[in-house]
Structure 1
């Protein structure tokens, strides 16, 4: 009887072994559900955007999504709606969701520091795009040279208007590195050569650009040129100028689709192209490289171009 039981047990063991097609140490199909490109673990990357109400950042996020798909990574995009407090909350939420890396487009370069430090404390690498953070540990910053773009805008405004012209400057969100650098470059180019009679923020917003420009025109009807820190403000300013029946040179920054069309139509004098889709793609490429243990440059530049008639 004992021999029969032993024989039966051996048969059962052999049958079970034959039914298994996996080799020792191999992964089951369920283990590979999160597999990314080349069978590696799928990386989960969070992207915090300052605002998706601006076409520039919509294009940037689309570039990141496209590259994420190509790289086999998962991307979660959140919209701070130009609110630094909401951005901090969004970043905390992404950390709680267990992202492997954070890409942040700061609403405010100083206010975002606490969010970057929170990610640092959770051992989550941080990459910044377009606007930098003024503190915390950031492994890479991907952006155009905003100061160089401001210089381009200033030099072209001088070419169109000559010296001693009276001009206005529409500034971006106070505290953002983009506004600071673009303004610095522009003022460096035109210093002592034009008279900047008005300098006001319109927060990178088209509607505010319109309202602020209306007020500037009432106080300074002699203005012949405007530099706006982004295209949304430039297009708002252009609307105010057209409503007032004036002919004023307006230069923007970003080369959004609306702005480029306006340049081609002979309305906007120029815009500085900084290729948001490429910024998004390069950010995602850098993110995947970092998570794969590769070294990336601390600063990754994206080329600029003057788009004019």
Structure 2
């Protein structure tokens, strides 16, 4: 495997590259708007030569396929009420149209695991020959995966990992390095707080690797680099704005001396902003806020001074998902983890980067 790294910032480059390799990443590409220059525009891109370690068409047992003459299915997991899901689905639609996919089937599980399973089974019944799945949870999709395996239909999972065997139960995972996102959020928090304070964590939903990894990355980095930052509370806000606001209200009541909030997505961060204001506090000043996602509303909040930093979780999976599928059918070995690049927003680049946020 050969790895090419392009660095747009000095911070934690070796750490990121190492994490990508350890995670089993054998092929990754950047897509979308390039990261802004400067320390808050860090981006790492790694790629491998064809024929390296990974899953091949022959190993998977699938038939060769021309996507321009194929039926492709996309299973969205959650209600498209937040910008990440809207951008994710639109990116899949746009790229399918761009490369001329014969037919794209799109379903939405409405945050119901049983519906996602039946959605996938229905798409298979409609002749889907390749599946892109945004899993609701890391566990529970076994009936759908078994149905796809029975028909030798490859399944590419995006944005959340599943607890299953790559190149057997599914082809590969395409998404961010969530542990690294947590580490970068910790670095941003250390920067905006000066490395001291009392931090509350608004956790994402339970049952998926995104929450676990973003939490572990943040906590480990804070412990290693900023012992003056004390994590005083961790409570789930389910990745939702209203729940983030409600949890923040509770945390302010039980921990009135909180000086910083790490929200594991932007929606919860925006809910926290509302809660802090209602409590008479000044978000972004009295209480520093760092979050993950990169939605336009959150980047605007940086411009407005109510959020201090945001680590992007890139939802623009379409180009990389279909490129991965094309490479797979062309004979390239696909690594277990295909890592997409994520930008970072802070006070020095938020205004100029606002148009590129989703």
Which residue of 262, 272, 287 corresponds with 1:248? Answer: 287
Which residue of 54, 60, 65 corresponds with 2:82? Answer: 54
The structure that has the greater radius of gyration is: 1
Aligned residues: 270
Task: Provide the residue aligned with 2:296 in structure 1.
Answer: 257
Separation in 2 of the partners of 1:118 and 1:177?
A: 24
Separation in 2 of the partners of 1:194 and 1:141?
A: 33
Contact 1:113-1:133 within 8 A present in 2 as well: no
Task: Provide the residue aligned with 2:92 in structure 1.
Answer: 64
TM-score by length of 1: 0.82
Which residue of 263, 272, 284 corresponds with 2:311? Answer: 272
Shift of 1:125: 0.4
Q: Secondary structure of 2:69's match? A: coil
Task: Provide the residue aligned with 2:18 in structure 1.
Answer: none
Separation in 2 of the partners of 1:164 and 1:260?
A: 24
Matched, 1:290 2:318: no
Separation in 2 of the partners of 1:42 and 1:293?
A: 18
Task: Provide the residue aligned with 1:9 in structure 2.
Answer: none
Task: Provide the residue aligned with 2:254 in structure 1.
Answer: 219
Consecutive unaligned residues of structure 2, counting only runs of 5 or more, are 1-65, 348-358
Shift of 1:164: 4.3
Shift of 1:282: 0.8
Task: Provide the residue aligned with 1:117 in structure 2.
Answer: 146
Which residue of 213, 235, 251 corresponds with 1:200? Answer: 235
Which residue of 45, 49, 53 corresponds with 2:72? Answer: 45
Contact 1:71-1:288 within 8 A present in 2 as well: no
The structure with the largest helix share of the pair is: 1
RMSD: 1.8
**Which structure ranks higher in relative contact order (CA pairs < 8 Å, sequence separation ≥ 6)?**
2
Contact 2:237-2:268 within 8 A present in 1 as well: yes
Task: Provide the residue aligned with 1:177 in structure 2.
Answer: 209
